[in-house]
Amino acid sequence: MTIHFPFQNTYSALPANFFARVAPTPVASPRLIKLNRPLALQLGLDPDLLSTPEGTEILAGKRLPDGADPIAMAYAGHQFGHFVPQLGDGRAILLGEVVDRDGVRRDIQLKGSGPTPFSRRGDGRAALGPVLREYIVSEAMFALGIPTTRSLAAVVTGEPVMRETALPGAVLTRIASSHIRVGTFQFFAARGDTDGVRALADHVIARHYPELKGAERPYHALLAGVVARQADLIARWLLVGFIHGVMNTDNTSISGETIDYGPCAFLDAYNPAQVFSSIDEMGRYAYANQPRIGLWNLTRLAECLLPLFSDDKEKAIEQAQEILGEFPQAFTVAYNSGLRRKVGLFTARDGDEALIQDLLDAMAKNEADFTLTFRQLGEAAADEAADVRAQFTDPAAFDEWAGRWRQRLALEPQSAAERKAAMHAVNPAFIPRNHRIEAAIFAAVNQDDYAPFEELLTVLAKPYQDQPQYAAYADPPLPEQRVTQTFCGT
């Protein structure tokens, strides 16, 4: 049986130093855990064929589909602020690119598919837990409307991987509009390879920013485009309480998608300084630090592009700083407008930001659940009796704020029903809560039970809808269920 992937590969046509050609390492006895059938159809693939033993072998890296040109991409990166000149795909192999039904080019990558020249003494494999985490969270982010890589399939390999203990091995099939990162530019810039930087920039413009092709200063426009997308993306993260966990430059996508779901997590109680990642001991990537780090990462990209801006280095730096200077305003506009929608304000008035900040301050002081507070605020907009105040350790703190909020709502033209519907459209009822993810992983890894994983995916596919039969999934963790640390899983 031949399973056809309509590959149209462009990255592997770039110069040889952009990647290493390497095939996935075959595995013993792959078993399909989950296939994302709607995504397969969107990619022009046949989900029924992918579900066969032959299809499962492709998704596990045991056999190559026709037309595949498997490569591991080269990149560098700042990891927790320290520059590493060569990283690269150490446990991921890009099979190729397809153009989906909307005309968008997508990478199809196997994550956990064996060693590559960039593995740095690693085994190139992935454990089941991190594969399930990425599948759950990336698909939840898609349903939340946040730009993200997607998950096409998860396969167990039938082989253990050795971490602290032996764990079931697995492979994730990841879909991205590309896997080009800030660190990809850094790889060439660190080597003084201006031709490589230019070739990469031209490729990125053609692939992600085609409207810039005729621009008078295309490389300046490219930096401005990436700045705008990252500002919008990070604002969207904060508006749903998402913490990436490892915002290294090699985990910052040029396309503006969320990529690399390692120790990521969502806020339960609102705390701007919240960190979950076990390796982020200094809080570099804490929830509220994410905009600052986003700009730091974009500054590293700008440094790579300086030779393309001008032969006069001082002039190039000045031009880059001007473009980078647009980030704070772009982020603030996206974040504040999102916050206004979350509290039911659809016109902008003086004092709105201060009013919303007062709510956030009260939430932080009173350990209010981030997701539930905003969701129940939608109920409160239509019903005075809605019990938002129960989220606060001191309910009077909410009462004081709510009086001012209702005065402000009275100046808006919407009816109560319209306001509630609009607020519910931006305030999810369901997020991938950390304790639910851990429970699904535990059942799969320790009991070979995927029912919790499947049910969680079902709930998260409709995050903005009330789902009475799954109401418990909206609940925050009990004290004994709280997840205080998440792990990279590499």
* Active centre residues (catalytic): 250
Ramachandran bin of 442, using left for φ above 0, alpha for ψ from -120 to 50, beta for the remaining angles:
alpha
Q: Are the C-beta atoms of residues 170 and 163 closer than 8 Å to each other?
A: no
Q: What is the amino acid identity at position 57?
A: E
Q: Which of 266, 39, 261, 240 is nearest to 144 (CA)?
A: 240
CA distance 119 to 328: 36
CA–CA distances in Å: residue 45 to residues 6, 100, 146, 229: 8, 9, 24, 29
CA distance 106 to 176: 5
Ramachandran bin of 41, using left for φ above 0, alpha for ψ from -120 to 50, beta for the remaining angles:
alpha
Q: Are the C-beta atoms of residues 20 and 74 closer than 8 Å to each other?
A: yes
User: Token match 């946040």: residue?
Assistant: 146
